[in-house]
Chains A and B, each alone.
Chain A
Amino acid sequence: MVKLTIDNKTIEVPEGTTVLDAARMLNIEIPTLCHHPKLTPFGGCRLCIVEVKGVPRPLTSCTTPVSEGMEITTSTPALEDLRRTVLELILSDHPNDCMICEKAGDCTLQELAYFYGIRENRFGGERRIYAKKDGNPFIERDMEKCILCGRCVKVCDEIQGVEAIDFTYRGFKSKICPTFERDLDCEFCGQCVAVCPTGALTGKTWNLRGRQKDIKEIDTTCSYCGTGCNLTLHVRGNEIIRVTSKEDKWNEGWLCVKGRFGYTFVNSPDRLKKPMIRIAPKLSADSYQLTANLFKEVSWDEALDYVASKLKEIKGKHGPDSIAGLSSAKCTNEENYLFQKFMRTGIGTNNVDHCARL
């Protein structure tokens, strides 16, 4: 254990803890932009600087490991002045269109600008303008709003293991890009969207669907697969307009493309809501006569009776092994258990499998 003092408060923390984490344990607030607790430290935004006694220049608390007897000050006029300069510099190269930004109200940069009361900017000048938009189907990448905190690059590498994006170019022209600035073509898990502190990365389906304040957040479990990630549905009126995931649950906020972006079916007019039975006459083993109404809507009882009678008929004619069952990863363990039980004891066959094996 290492003992140190932060703003005159003493704390003992395990070796290897960063000064930032130690400060947070003491409920001391230090502004950060590039830091993310699940990712390796970056040290790029320079907002988390602190003064360390005996060290001539400020150090970034997110990258500095604690050492015995350290004396840290997290806020002085000089530090706040540097933080303000850094924020003004970021904002001098930012579209500042919070008015129409998806992220407004939930944006770390906006919040910091608010707390530091930045209205005027001493450093006007050239701003990055990118005309070409990324044509991928899921993720809106507005690189003019990117502050190059590197979180997306790190999450894609360290958490997802995909390395679809990285820093390109140098200096003021630095930009986060997929290879050769092509359109993003990756897993579209959207972890990058989840960790982006600004409006640079958002979901394409989120666009102009509603502000955070109008939203009811409903926690649920993802039904796409048996993994069971926690989802938070952002619901406006009776419509899901975005999906996020809470970081303090077992899946740590990470999702896959289906969980994060595959929610639009819920309100789709094509969605089946009632059972239907095919009524078109059969022409051969695998074709039907095309009629105006291929299906007829029925009640659950009727549908189940129909299935049961057909299964019985087939079993009677061809034996139980002529029937096979394939269950879904969208079902729970219990449902899958019941399904194989049904196949084995109800139908009497071992022909049972599961889509997750495919």
Chain B
Amino acid sequence: MKATNTTIRVCMGTGGIAAGGVEVLDAFRKELELAGIKADVKKNCSMHKVGCRGLCAKDVLVDVIIGDKKTTYQFIKSDMVPRIVKEHVVEKNPVREWMVGEDYLAFHEKQFKVVLSDCGSIDPEDISAYIGVKGYEAAKKVMTSMKPGDVIETIKASGLRGRGGAGFPTGAKWEIAGKQDSKQKYLICNADEGDPGAFMDRSVIEGNPHAVIEGMIIGAYAIGADKGYVYIRAEYPLAVERLRKALSDARENGFLGKEILGTKFNFDIKVKLGAGAFVCGEETALIASIEGQRGMPRAKPPFPVYNGLWGKPTVINNVETLANIPYIIRNGDRWFASFGTEKSRGTKVFALTGKIKNSGLIEVPMGISLKEIVYEIGGGIEGDRALKAVQTGGPSGGCIPAAMVDMSVDYESLIKAGSFVGSGGMVVLDETDCMVNIAKFFLEFTQAESCGKCVPCRIGTKRLLEILTRITKGAGKEGDLELLEKLSKDVKAASLCGLGQGAPNPILSTIKYFRHEYEAHLEGRCPSAVCKELLTYYVLEQFCKGCGACLRACPAGAITGEKKKPHFIDSGICIKCGACFDVCKFKAVKKE
């Protein structure tokens, strides 16, 4: 039997693989063979791995495309495959109950995909798939018909700004590098991505590595570099593997190496693995790391475009920045500049996580409101609780309170609100999140990741963390809030690199918008009932049925009570583990 025009796509990003993507893919192979759909597999029924499509929570996601009709299934396990093949592929009746629902469609509707446009639809391990969607046409066009200066002008006109954090205009950076009179220049792709919870760059490399490589070729041509590096963390084995495969395929196809496509332009790319220090994402630390030194930042100026890797002019661009380049060259600067805001053009990929229904990877036009992201794309808050804040920008970012949810998401607006686009982490916080605790979480991270070079960051973040810790433990002292603010400002002003300069932002922004929570802690209360030391557990007599479940669950023996009579928690013995709270079926245990 022949299946006409059938394509089966299995999501095989890190999320997909973790959920069993490999087994699902194998199951499809086996079932199709059993069903006799083996003949003409290549022509009529192709099946391939695709990279991340964003909604990792619903993995393994599978597309069954018959003719021009695409059906997407969610939460697929290998044992579900026989039924899909039988009912859908053979009998043409899609399995309705396994199909994605409205939330999946809503998740995608408000997004606008540039960088991710081919992620999730092409096989990242097949260069011909990329070429099939006009891949490497931009590089060809640039090398055969454009002068380096024209390329730079195009990128400048597009308004593209760096997606790695600071939002520096990419065209301007390239222009300075292009002007440097040096025989040797370098282009580095920053794929270090160390922010907790961020996985944008990983997904781009896993889903479409050739777009990044093509962006690098174009960038190298524009600035006159003949050597490139991708600095990528070793904790991303799949991305590394796909990147390496893509590089060797690109080399074989003549897109990298000497005299590329018959032109005089030479360029090749090396992969350099990072050992997972967050600070190595900072450009001067990254350079030190490539040079074999300890990854410690150095003071700027001089900036790397003047004096970078091995002392030579070096452009460092983020993965997403570079992946935008081929699309800009192909579709034109005007096309790119047509979305976004006046100062923040184009789209931005965010890793949407936290207390949100649809967590995953999203790409949205700059200038979209935070509200649209949270409530439309994200589908609202888990358990329909109330939104408290959205934390953006990772450990250097800040918290935007629910009251400001109408604000536009772009570089300027976020900075004005005391936060940061950063590399694109977006953590949604609800009423059960304690803001002091959130600030403490980020400080724990920055404090541990500080490279130790400069005093304000090395010792300052430690002291900030100590103050936050004692506040969350109810041991805060008078004046602690003021001291926290003062030290935060000083660490921000005096630190050497972006890590230390940004580390106090989570504190400053939560003090700015949630000062009352800090004050409550100093008075001995955690309003969100998160900070253990500030909680008291007690039994609401009117709800207690005297079932004794809590009494049996309490490891400290703090609960007493007779059968069928209200129980009692002795707060002097209680160790605040929360076992009684979790075990009570009648919601009779309260914590405050």
Interface of A toward B, CB cutoff 8 Å: 41-46, 49, 57-60, 63-65, 81-82, 85-86, 89-90, 92-93, 122-123, 125-126, 147-148, 150, 166-167, 169-174
Q: Which of A57, A89, A169 contacts B459 (CB 8 A)?
A: A89
A174 to B462, CA, bound (A): 12
A166 touches B456 (CB 8 A): no
Looking at B250-258, B295-303, B414-422, the stretch in contact with chain A turns out to be B295-303
Kindly state whether residue B449 has any CB partner on chain A within 8 Å.
yes
Contact of A170 (CB < 8 Å), options: B298, B299, B452: B452
Q: For residue B298, which residues in chain A have a CB less than 8 angstroms away from its CB? A: 43, 63
In the bound complex, CA of A170 to CA of B277 (Å): 9
Q: If the complex has contacts A59-B299, A170-B277, A171-B461, are A45 and B493 also in contact, measured as CB distance less than 8 A? A: no
Please indicate the chain B residues that have their CB under 8 angstroms from the CB of A82 in the complex: 490, 493-494
Nearest chain B residue, comparing its CB with the CB of A174 = B452
Of all chain A residues, the one with the shortest Cβ separation from B500 is: A46
Bound CA–CA A46/B458 (angstroms): 12
16 contacts between A and B (CB under 8 A): A46-B495, A60-B496, A63-B298, A63-B299, A64-B299, A85-B490, A86-B490, A89-B456, A89-B459, A93-B459, A122-B487, A126-B466, A148-B452, A170-B277, A171-B452, A173-B452
What is the interface residue range for chain B against chain A? 20 to 34
Q: A172-B450, A174-B452 are in contact. Are A49 and B458 (CB under 8 A)?
A: no
Give which listed residue, B302, B454, B483, B495, contacts A122 with CB less than 8 A. Answer: B483
**Residues in chain B near residue A170, CB distance under 8 A:** 277, 279, 448-452
Residues of B within 8 A of A167 (CB): 294, 296, 452-453
Contact string against A for B residues 466-509, beta-carbon threshold 8 Å, 1 for contact and 0 otherwise? 10000000000000000100010010011110000100000000
Judging by beta carbons under 8 Å apart, are A86 and B463 in contact? no
CB of A132 to closest CB in B, whole Å: 20
Partner of B494, one of A49, A123, A169: A49
- A174 CA / B302 CA spacing, docked (Å): 26
- Complex CA gap A85/B448 in Å reads 21
B526-545 with Cβ < 8 A to chain A: none
Q: Is the CB of B463 within 8 A of A123?
A: yes
From residue A15, how far is it (CB to closest CB) to chain B in Å?
Answer: 12
Which of B458, B461, B495 contacts A174, CB < 8 Å?
B458
**Which residues of chain A have C-beta atoms less than 8 A from B490's C-beta?**
81-82, 85-86
Query: Do A171 and B299 contact each other (CB < 8 Å), given the known contacts A45-B455, A46-B454?
Result: no
Contacts of B455 in A (CB 8 A): 44-46, 86, 89-90, 147
- Which residues of chain A have C-beta atoms less than 8 A from B453's C-beta? 42-44, 148, 150, 167, 174
A65 to B301, CA, bound (A): 8
Decide yes or no: A86 and B456 within 8 Å by CB, A125-B466, A166-B294 being known contacts. Answer: yes
CB distance from B473 to the nearest CB of A (A): 14
Q: How far is the CA of A174 from the CA of B458 in the complex (A)?
A: 8
Closest 7 CB pairs of A and B: A174-B452, A63-B299, A43-B299, A171-B450, A89-B459, A172-B462, A85-B490
| Cα distance A58–B492 in the bound complex, in angstroms | 11
- Would you give the shortest CB distance from B395 to chain A, in whole angstroms? 13
CB distance from B457 to the nearest CB of A (A): 8
Residues of B within 8 A of A122 (CB): 483, 487
Partner pick for B458 among A59, A85, A172, CB 8 A cutoff: A172
A90 and B459: CB pair below 8 A? yes
The chain B residues found within 8 Å of chain A, CB to CB, are 277, 279, 294, 296, 298-299, 301-302, 447-456, 458-463, 466, 483, 487, 490, 493-496, 501
Chain A positions within 8 Å of B458 at CB level: 148, 171-172, 174
CB proximity of B451 to chain A, nearest CB, Å: 6
Residue of A nearest to B300 (CB): A63
| Bound form: Cα–Cα A122–B482 in Å | 11
Check B447–A172 contact: CB distance below 8 A. yes
- Nearest-neighbor residue (CB-CB) of B454 within chain A: A44
Residues of B within 8 A of A93 (CB): 459, 462
Q: Enumerate chain B residues within 8 angstroms of A92, measured Cβ to Cβ.
A: 459, 463
- The distance from the CB of B241 to the nearest CB of chain A, in whole angstroms, is 28
**Separation in Å of the A55 CB from the closest CB of chain B?**
10
> B495, A125: Cβ atoms under 8 Å?
no
For A150, what are the chain B residues with a Cβ–Cβ distance below 8 Å?
Answer: 453
Q: When chains A and B are docked, how far (Å) is the Cα of A302 from the Cα of B149?
A: 90
Note all chain B residues with C-beta closer than 8 A to A123. Answer: 459, 463, 483, 487
> Judging by beta carbons under 8 Å apart, are A57 and B493 in contact?
yes
Query: Chain A nearest CB: distance from B493 CB in Å?
Result: 6
Chain B residues with Cβ below 8 Å from A90 are 455, 459
Residues of B contacting A147 in the complex (Cβ-Cβ under 8 angstroms): 455
Smallest CB separation, B398 vs chain A (Å): 18
Partner of A171, one of B448, B456, B466, B487: B448
Query: Which residues of B sit under 8 angstroms from A171, Cβ to Cβ?
Result: 447-452, 458, 461-462
Closest to B448 in A: A171
For the A-B complex with A86-B456, A171-B447 known, give 12 more contacts whose Cβ atoms are closer than 8 Å: A41-B299, A43-B496, A44-B455, A44-B496, A58-B494, A64-B301, A65-B302, A90-B455, A92-B463, A147-B455, A172-B450, A174-B450
Q: Taking CB as reference atom, which chain B residue is nearest A122?
A: B483
Task: Give the shortest distance, in Å, between B561 (CB) and chain A (any CB).
Answer: 42
Q: Please state if B454 and A43 are interface contacts (CB–CB under 8 Å).
A: yes
Chain B residue numbers with a CB within 8 Å of A41 are 299
